[in-house]
Amino acid sequence: MNQRSAFVVMVTMFALMLPVSAQVEPGQPALFPTAEVDCSVEQLTLTERSAQTLSCTINNPNAYTVEVEITHTVDGSAGQAEDFGIPESENITLQANEEVGHPIRFDPEYGDGVNGDSYDYKIEVAVTDFVLIGDQVVIPNPSQQKTEDDVTITVPLDSDFIVGVFPSTNSASWQKGTPGDAVDEALDNPSRSAATIHVGPTPEAPHFGIEAIVPSGGYDQSSVGYIALVIGNQAIDDDVISVEVNTNELESTVKSKSGELRSVLHRVNLDFQQTVGDPILVSSMTASLQAAASPQQASSLLIMVVVLELQSATDEDAAAPISIVVKSANGGAQSAVTLGVDVMVHAPVNEGGLTISGGLGGGSLPPSVLIGSSAAAILLLIVIVTVARRPRKLAAQRNSGSASVGDTSFDFSDLDDLDGLDIDDLDDLDDLDEVEDESSSFPQEVIEISSEFDDLEAELGV
C-alpha cells in the first residue's frame, strides 16, 4: 500500500467515528467541508400563474474542490417540489472558494397539486465529496453536513372568468333555436358588447321573448326589457362572482317622465327552463362557482337575467344607460369587468294628442276600431234625435189642423178688456168650456201618434 492510499484510509476511518447528522451552526468552523446557500428573498409570489425564478447563491468556503448536492422540498415533500417544476435533487462542482449563482425556476402545474395557497420551500446543500492532494484524491464526506435556506412561496387564488351578454350587438350569434343553444354560443364566443335594451310597447323585441327567458316571471312583454348574462369560471380555483347592477340614472330619467321603473334579478338554469332561487329586488347578486372543468359544468356557470320592468308608463320616450359590474372574489378589484348598456323606454302610442289604452286588460285598441265605434255612436245619436222630434212635429201639425176646424178662436189680447167688465159679465166665459173640451183631447191624440213609431224604434234597437 502506498502513502496516498494509506492516507485516504486513515481519513475515512476517522470520519466514520464522527456523528453524521451534525448541522453547521452559523459562524462555527466545520470539521469536514461544507457549502453555503443563500436566497435573495424570503417570500416569493407567483403572480399571474406564470413561471418565475428565485435567485440563490451557493458558496464553497473551502480551499479545495467539493462536490455539492442540492435538494429541494416544498412543505417537507420532495414530490411536492416536483409539482412546482423543481427536481428533487441536483449536483454541482465548486472550485476552491468559488461562489456561483443558482437560479431556481418555479413552473407549477397549476390545478394539478398546486392551487391558491402559501407553501414553504426549502433548499439544502451538502458536500458529498472533496478532493485533496492537488485534486488527485477524492474523499467521501461522511458527515454530509447541510446548510439550508427557506423561502415562503405564495400562489394567489386564480381569477379567470368569461362574460357573454344577450342581446348583443352581434345579434346573429344569439339567433339560435333555443336559449340553451345561445348559452353555448356565448361560452364559445363571449361578447361583452350589449345591444340597446327596449322597454315598453315597441316592435324592437329581442330574438327570445321574456316568457322564454324567465318562464316563471309572469311578465308582460309590453312592459319589460331584459339583458341576459352568461358568466363562466375558467380559473383552477373555486371563486365567488358578484354582479352589481346600477339603474339609478335610468330610474331617475323615467321618473322625470311621470313613469316608474324597477330592476329584478333572476338566476336561471342553463336552458332557461326554470329559475334558481327567488328573484332579487336589490341591485346585486353573488354566486359561488366551482373551478373550471372540461367540458364546462353547470356548477361553474352563472346564468342571470336583469329584467327592467315599467310599473307605470312614461308620458314620452326616455333614454338612459345602466351599468353592470362583474367581479371575482379571488381577483379582487383588479378583476372587475364593467358593461355599459343603453336603454330606451317607450311611451304608449299617442293618437292626436290622446293616449289610447285598452280597458281592463290594459292593452291598446287599434285606431280603426276606435274611429269606427265613434262614428257608429254619432250616427245612432242622430237617428234617436230624429225619431224623437218627428212625433212632436206631426202632433203639432195635427193640432194646427184641429184648431182651424173649430168655430171658436181665442185672441189673448181681448183679456185686456176684462179690467172694465163687471164681475157678473164673467158668466159669459162659460162659453169657453167647449173650446177647452176640444183642446183637452189634443194630448191624447199626441200619445196616439207617438205610439205609431214603436215599430220604427224596435227596428233601430232603441
pLDDT tens digit string along 159-214?
899 999 988 887 776 778 888 888 888 888 888 888 899 998 877 767 788 988 99
Mutual angle of helices 442-451 and 367-405, in 10-degree steps: 140
Mean pLDDT score across all residues of the chain:
76
Tell me: pLDDT of 437 over 70: no
Cell matching residue 233: 369560471
H-helix or E-strand spanning residue 99: strand 99-106
pLDDT at position 78 over 70: yes
Q: Which of 41-55, 94-108, 301-315, 330-344 has the lowest mean pLDDT?
A: 41-55
Q: Which amino acid is at 164?
A: G
Over 125-179, what HEC string results?
EEEEEEEECCCCEEEECCCCCEEEEEEEEEECCCCCEEEEEECECCHHHCCCCCH
The pLDDT value recorded for residue 115 is 85
Contact 83, 114 (CB under 8 A): yes
C-alpha grid cell, residue 443: 194630448
Distance CA 225, CA 213 (A): 11
Is 67 within 8 Å of 144 (Cβ atoms)?
Answer: no
Q: Whole-angstrom Cα distance, residue 183 to residue 166?
A: 9
Question: How many Å apart are CA 45 and CA 381, to the nearest integer?
Answer: 90
Best mean pLDDT range from 42-56, 166-180, 369-383, 415-429: 42-56
Query: What pTM, to 2 d.p., does this model score?
Result: 0.61
Which of 156-160, 229-233, 362-366 has the lowest average pLDDT? 362-366
Distance, CA of 42 to chain centre: 43
| Residue whose C-alpha cell is 336561471 | 268
- CA 15 – CA 13 distance, rounded (Å): 5
Element (H, E) at 371: helix 367-405
> Between 377 and 193, whose confidence is greater?
193
- pLDDT confidence band for 350 (50 / 70 / 90): low
> Taking 60 as the threshold, does the pLDDT of residue 456 lie above it?
no
pLDDT in tens, 121-139: 999 999 999 887 666 677 8
In the chain, the domains with their CATH numbers are 3-155 (2.60.40.10), 161-350 (2.60.40.10), 368-460 (no CATH)
User: What would the grid cell of residue 265 be?
Assistant: 334579478
- For residue 291, what are the CA distances in angstroms to 161, 166, 247, 336? 10, 24, 31, 18
Check residues 173 and 253 and name the one with the higher pLDDT. Answer: 253
What amino acid is encoded at 200 in this protein? Answer: G
